[in-house]
Amino acid sequence: MWTIIQEKFKNHPAQEKVIRLLLERGFQINPDGRVVSGIIEIPHTQIANEIGVDRRVVDATCETIAKDAQLVAIFRNIRTMPFLREVAPLLGLGVIVIAPDNAARKGLLGAVATAVAEHGITIRQAVSDDPYLTENPQLTIITEGKVSGELVNTLTKIKGVKSVTVY
């Protein structure tokens, strides 16, 4: 998906910034060419201000998306997801953040999930940052209850794990 999008915006770096924000936030483009989250419209000026571009860049990006069938299919169907990382401690949940040595390594999520399960802990949520969208991608695991030091030691021994942070 990202290579398709990059190809379409390769000569427009400011519009590529808009695309990155839309994807990171799971924002959609509605049939009217407006940025939305569900049916809630997000003003193009607010998007422009956040990423430091002119509002017309956001307008042009949305127009480009609306004219391209592949992009329409992506940006009408992308969805946001509630990410529990910041509120997990308030809810009595554990948070494990894994920094991989190579985000493209296969099997890291499976190895981490297996280790967590073997320690008798239930995973409530697992979110892996997309290495194409994030400079330093991480794997975040939200667990039912707190994480033991023994589990942290096990996780640090998994091939591909550069660091483990627990909240």
Domain ranges of the chain: 2-77, 88-166
For residues 135-160, b (16+ Cβ closer than 10 Å) or e, as one string? eebbbbbbbeeebeeebeebbeebeb
Tokens representing residue 12 in the block:
């427009």
pLDDT for position 76: 95
Specify whether the CB–CB gap between 123 and 116 falls below 8 A: yes
Is the pTM above the cut of 0.95? no
Tokens representing residue 66 in the block:
């609306």
| 109-130 per-position pLDDT tens digit | 999 999 999 999 999 999 999 8
| 29-71 per-position pLDDT tens digit | 999 999 999 999 999 999 999 999 999 999 999 999 999 999 9
Q: How many CB atoms neighbour CB 124 within 10 A?
A: 15
**Cα end-to-end distance, the chain, whole Å:** 33
Is 3.40.1160.10 the CATH number for 88-166?
A: no
Angle at 96 between CA 93 and CA 101, to 5 degrees: 165
